Amino acid sequence: MKTKILRILENANGYVSGEELSRELGVSRTAIWKNINSLRDDGCVISSVTNRGYRLENIPDFLDKDIISRKLGTSVIGKKIEVLKTVDSTNDEVKRRASKGEPSGLVVAAEEQTRGKGRLGKLWDGQKGGLYFTALIRPELPPSDISSITLAAGYGVCLAIREYTGLDARIKWPNDIIIGNKKVVGMLTEIAAQADMLEYAAIGIGINVNNDCFPDEIKNKATSLCTELGRKIDRNDFFRCVINRLDKVISSFIISMSIDDITSFTKLCATIGKRVSVQRADKPIEGTAREINRSGELIIVDDSGNEYVINSGEVTVQGIY
Ligand code: BTN
């Protein structure tokens, strides 16, 4: 109920009366009033004026594990949530906890990372207002199945963004998320494994949420939800939506990646049908991304009709950063 009220107030241009809210949500005005007070307890500033109603003045922009956990109801991811003010990297923190036996489901988020990690050994320079976190899972899978985890994480976050903001977020295979041709989410999944079984996977996710300025090197390639929407969003509420989606999608992809899962993923994948190139030690591959197969691999066809199966590596997509 609180989330619904918050969304209505966020989208309103000015005051919304208690009567309108109670009509739209099918509950009494007393219920609206109680929920408004509870939102105020969460740190939202909501003004009220007799005969006009309520207006959202400000939403709190600090992560709060109690607010995030409230009514979460996930089966694994988010069973335990920790929010740190600062940490070297949430991936490293989760790996340290995992090596001491932390069970599946822990999510560690941080307002600031001093050594955030990107792919290919690069640093991830997350700006204030973003959402940076790592989820720990211990699936009973062979290490080769890491790609299903990677795809599931990208798909889950993409669905959460679409659902929460209505923005046309798409996946750049395997798991970057873009809006238009700019990156809004980056992910780094790290694993520990025995020869034939994963010990754990640390799924690290960085989402540009309320950050609206970027360093010069990436400012033409990166965007944020706030930049695209033209307003800030409630990070706690959005984070809950992301955790919910990740929990559902990851459980389903891990049980078995069905043809329906692949079809749904493909529909949101911006890479399919585009000209792409992949750096390879011997020679680069250039061609058109044709499809994603049952194992989640990308099939590229070059101009002579040769088919290549790509399961990892950086894919450059024409027209996207
Ligand atoms: C990339 O696009 O290069 C991957 C970026 C991954 C960044 C996230 S932020 C949270 C988590 N902790 C890290 O140190 N990295 C990931």
Q: What structural domains does the chain harbor?
A: 2-58 (1.10.10.10), 65-267 (3.30.930.10), 275-317 (2.30.30.100)
Phi/psi of residue 176, nearest 5 degrees: -80, 155
Residue 124 neighbours by CB distance under 10 Å: 18
**Residue in 132, 150, 185 to alter for ligand 1 test, most ligand atoms within 8 A of Cβ:** 132
Q: What is the atom index within ligand 1 of the atom nearest the CA of 120? A: 3
Per-residue pLDDT at 60 exceeds 90: no
| Pick from 303, 301, 256, 308: nearest CA to 282 | 308
- H-assigned helices in the chain: 2-11, 18-25, 29-41, 65-69, 90-99, 146-165, 225-229, 235-255, 259-267
pLDDT range class, residue 242, cuts 50, 70, 90 = very high
- The confidence score (pLDDT) of residue 148 equals 84
**Residue in 88, 91, 150, 211 to alter for ligand 1 test, most ligand atoms within 8 A of Cβ:** 91
Q: What is the atom index within ligand 1 of the atom nearest the CA of 186? A: 2
- The confidence score (pLDDT) of residue 10 equals 83
pTM greater than 0.75 (yes/no): yes
CB 20 within 8 A of CB 29: no
Q: What is the mean pLDDT of the chain?
A: 92
**Residue in 117, 120, 172 to alter for ligand 1 test, most ligand atoms within 8 A of Cβ:** 117
CA of 286 to the centre of ligand 1 (A): 27
CA of 205 to the centre of ligand 1 (A): 5
With a pLDDT cut of 70, the percent of the chain lying above it is: 100
Per-residue pLDDT at 255 exceeds 80: no
Per-residue pLDDT at 195 exceeds 90: no
Per-residue pLDDT at 62 exceeds 90: no
Q: What is the atom index within ligand 1 of the atom nearest the CA of 119? A: 3
- The confidence score (pLDDT) of residue 31 equals 96
Mean pLDDT check: name the lowest of 2-11, 32-41, 111-120.
2-11
CA of 131 to the centre of ligand 1 (A): 10
- The confidence score (pLDDT) of residue 274 equals 95
- Residues flanking ligand 1, CB < 6 Å: 89-91, 113, 116-119, 122, 124, 126, 132-134, 176, 186-188, 204-206
pLDDT range class, residue 169, cuts 50, 70, 90 = very high
What average pLDDT does this structure show over 255-260? 77
Give Cβ neighbours of residue 272 (< 8 Å, ≥ 6 apart). Answer: 173, 266, 289, 290, 291, 292
